[in-house]
Amino acid sequence: MAFDIDMIKKVYSQMAERVDKAREIVGKPLTLSEKILYSHLWDGKPSEAFERGKDYVEFSPDRIACQDATAQMALLQFMQAGKDKVAVPTTVHCDHLIQAKQGAEKDLISANKSSHEVFDFLESVSNKYGIGFWKPGAGIIHQVVLENYAFPGGMMIGTDSHTVNAGGLGMVAIGVGGADAVDVMAGMPWELKFPKLIGVKLTGELSGWTASKDVILKVAGILTVKGGTGAIVEYFGPGAKNLSCTGKGTICNMGAEIGATTSTFGYDDSMERFLRATEREDIADEANKVREHLTGDDEVYANPEQYFDEVIEIDLSELRPHLNGPFTPDLATPVGELGEKAKKNDWPIKVDWGLIGSCTNSSYEDLTRAASIAQQAIDKKLKPKSDFGINPGSEQIRFTAERDGLLNVFEDLGATVFTNACGPCIGQWDRSDRKGEEKNTIVHSFNRNFSKRADGNPNTHAFVGSPEMVAAIAISGRLDFDPMNDTLVNEDGQEVKLDEPRGIELPPEGFEVEENGYVEPMKDGSGVEIKVAKDSERLQLLTPFEPIQDSEMQGMKLLIKAFGKCTTDHISMAGPWLRYRGHLDNISNNCLIGAINAYNKKTNFVKNQIDGEYGGVPDVQREYKAKGIKTIVVGDHNYGEGSSREHAAMEPRFLGVAAVLVKSFARIHETNLKKQGMLGLTFANEADYDLIQEDDTFNFIDIVDFAPNKPLTIEIVHKDGSKDTIKANHTYNDAQISWYREGSALNLIKKQNA
């Protein structure tokens, strides 16, 4: 069913030789990240040292994982590649399309009704092309991967930003757009700019209320949402060894929130314990044989400043529990200081919901620690002041937690146990208590808390904390509650204090599951027919993009100059739009509707230069498209941060946007733009952003000479006839320029397969 031990043995059998060779070539001891990267080169044995943050390198990942929302477009693209089977072990996980409303049983029935067409499509494509399929309700992609597929020293890619979760089991696991996954499924190399390396040295030991989650909440506060961009964060030191494997997973999971390429930890006893507990004894045995290659060299960890590009040190014994938010995961505040901050900023103190679980925090340890707090509420006669919602990460963890009485504890407090799926973490939450856009506060143990992320309400202030802290805050119903110092009044009018949480790392009686929800594909899927109804509003077969002609890059119009944060949620919203992830035309109606127009500070309200009228971004863009006018999108820093969804690139491309010009990009989105055959450019001079005016026309005067390491020149013609000429940088190499010239990376694959 699950992992392929022969594949893992092969990876390990090559590792010693490749690591030794890499050490010789690089000329110094190696970090774990380098060992994994150099032992997964597409060309096999390393033959040159790569410059971090500069060289593009081709890799050969061991696995691919796709979630249902992104898998639709990825598989629609793969179907165009002309292959019989995927070249690399791949799994599809149905987790994003299940709305949380009434609880697991009813919600799953409802999702199977409303999205059956999509689930059927994914199952049949999986069956045809040799892809493992995890049914709706089986669990959230990253938890299922950690429990079944992740292995120390491996490399995987996944069509979801939180693929990085598998770093908790010592992998280099990276979130990519569907187009990258399609390359690898089709047997092509996967390209990545060789990452920089940030070392995080952990000393001391967690105690009391402080959890693994607080490590990453602290790191996010230090590095901010941009601080990890282009880098692998490698954790090491005595403190790292003291963390559980799943706790490491939580830390790596939220590496996505600092923009890191991925995060990882060296193989240690906690990983071995987790592998054995999840019935992967043979992987543990194999990993033990190559233990020294599955962690960084001793010298690297002894003198990290010499080997990492940046080093951070955190003493776990001194670390305090944090709550990060609202609206951004890097706004870190130690619990106890939040009340004052909330008052100052007018954030609602009353907490409406406490949500526990998601792919970030639904391990056995998490649930036991949170349940130990919930149990105290029962024992000490405390009635929770907030509602509780639980999203188990997998059926295996749900079944085990139910067997061990953990879920009962929450249910006794009135908690709703939602499906083993993303639910409120991705806006799939039909929240019954608030229908309008009232200001309110929730706390959760998820990872992201951007505006509208949980419930679509821009005024929901979401704070991220550990599951046990979420439980305590939800019981108190107050954001300013500090369980380490404050007391609560119980039903008898007595003042009571919550004791420190207590957790169990792994289930003493082992994990258990009756029906894990996995469907093995047929050995020969050639007879499987894939049906997509012509009138389907959810799925649409793709038509290849036409290459953008140099002549079209003259006389371009400005579609929108985005102001401030513009994440992939702003470019291609989630929530109700998840419905159209497999239908490019329909989902393009959400294109950039969340981006703020720099000229009027409104969303989805831009000037149509054809008639001077204002309208919604997709509507205006469709008018340009009808007239054959290409457009440009202008943006600020870290444009496209957040989810890896390639829809955020495909939609503008489909509607006729030819270039995106920004101060800086989030890595995955920049690559996605390249894959779809359009231009992703950065201002050579950031201040040129201010030159762009609402009625501007753009001429790419040297596009005919588009070449690596050569900035492009753009002439901006303003309404009054005056002109500015600016330089735009790009990171396209020769291969990526071929994608642009062919219309998309997929067009090139098809051409090469023909």
Q: Residues with catalytic annotation?
A: 95-96, 160, 448, 643, 645
Amino acid letter, 363: S
Nearer to ligand SF4, 118 or 140 (CB): 140
Cα gap 181→127, rounded to integer Å: 18
Give the number of other Cβ atoms within 10 Å of residue 532's Cβ: 16
Least CB distance to ligand SF4 at residue 391 (A): 7
> What is the footprint of ligand SF4 within residues 563-582 (CB under 6 A)?
none
Buried-state track 386-420, b at ≥16 Cβ within 10 A, e below 16:
bbbbbbbbbbbbbbbbeebebbbbbbebebbbbbb
State the burial class of residue 182 (Cβ atoms within 10 Å of its Cβ: 0-12, 13-18, 19+).
buried
Dihedral sign, CA of 97, 101, 103, 109?
A: negative
Verify binding: residue 162, ligand SF4, rule CB under 6 A.
yes
Cα gap 166→502, rounded to integer Å: 25
Binding-site member from 146, 150, 243, 359 for ligand SF4 (CB under 6 A): 359
Nearer to ligand SF4, 447 or 697 (CB): 447
Least CB distance to ligand SF4 at residue 415 (A): 17
CA distances from 367 to 343, 372, 446, 473, 740 (A): 31, 8, 13, 16, 48
Binding-site member from 68, 107, 123, 160 for ligand SF4 (CB under 6 A): 160
Contacts of 285 (CB under 8 A, 6+ apart): none
Verify binding: residue 358, ligand SF4, rule CB under 6 A.
yes
Verify binding: residue 100, ligand SF4, rule CB under 6 A.
no
3-state SS of 169-202 is HCCEEEECCHHHHHHHHCCCCEEEECCEEEEEEE
Nearer to ligand SF4, 86 or 355 (CB): 355
**Nearest by Cα to 446 from 387, 389, 369:** 389
Nearer to ligand SF4, 37 or 359 (CB): 359
Work out the end-to-end distance of the chain between its first and last CA atoms, rounded to an integer number of angstroms: 33
Give the DSSP per-residue string, 523-584.
S--TT------TT-SSB----PPPPPPGGGGSSEEEEEEB-S---HHHHB--GGGGGGTB-H
> What is the footprint of ligand SF4 within residues 68-97 (CB under 6 A)?
95
Pairing of strands 712-717, 723-729: antiparallel
Least CB distance to ligand SF4 at residue 754 (A): 36
Least CB distance to ligand SF4 at residue 604 (A): 24
Least CB distance to ligand SF4 at residue 252 (A): 12
Strand partners, 263: 233
Q: Compute φ and ψ for 518, nearest 5 degrees.
A: -95, 140
> What is the footprint of ligand SF4 within residues 402-461 (CB under 6 A)?
422, 425-426, 446-447
Site string for ligand SF4, 123-142 (x = CB under 6 A): -----------------xxx
Least CB distance to ligand SF4 at residue 426 (A): 4
Q: Which two tokens stand for residue 119?
A: 């689930």
Nearer to ligand SF4, 422 or 558 (CB): 422
Least CB distance to ligand SF4 at residue 666 (A): 16
Q: Is 346 left (phi over 0), alpha (psi -120 to 50) or beta?
A: left
Give the number of other Cβ atoms within 10 Å of residue 226's Cβ: 15
Nearer to ligand SF4, 97 or 559 (CB): 97
Least CB distance to ligand SF4 at residue 446 (A): 6
Nearer to ligand SF4, 160 or 387 (CB): 160
Contacts of 720 (CB under 8 A, 6+ apart): none
Nearer to ligand SF4, 18 or 448 (CB): 448
Coil/strand/helix, residue 459: coil
By CB under 6 A, the count of residues binding ligand SF4 is 13
Least CB distance to ligand SF4 at residue 408 (A): 23
Least CB distance to ligand SF4 at residue 162 (A): 5
Nearer to ligand SF4, 202 or 425 (CB): 425
* 78, 88 contact by CB (below 8 A): no
* 389, 68 contact by CB (below 8 A): no
Nearer to ligand SF4, 422 or 592 (CB): 422
Give the number of other Cβ atoms within 10 Å of residue 718's Cβ: 15
Sheet strands (E) in 14-131 = 56-59, 63-67, 90-93
Verify binding: residue 469, ligand SF4, rule CB under 6 A.
no
User: Could you list the residues that contact ligand SF4 (CB under 6 A)?
Assistant: 95, 140-142, 160, 162, 358-359, 422, 425-426, 446-447
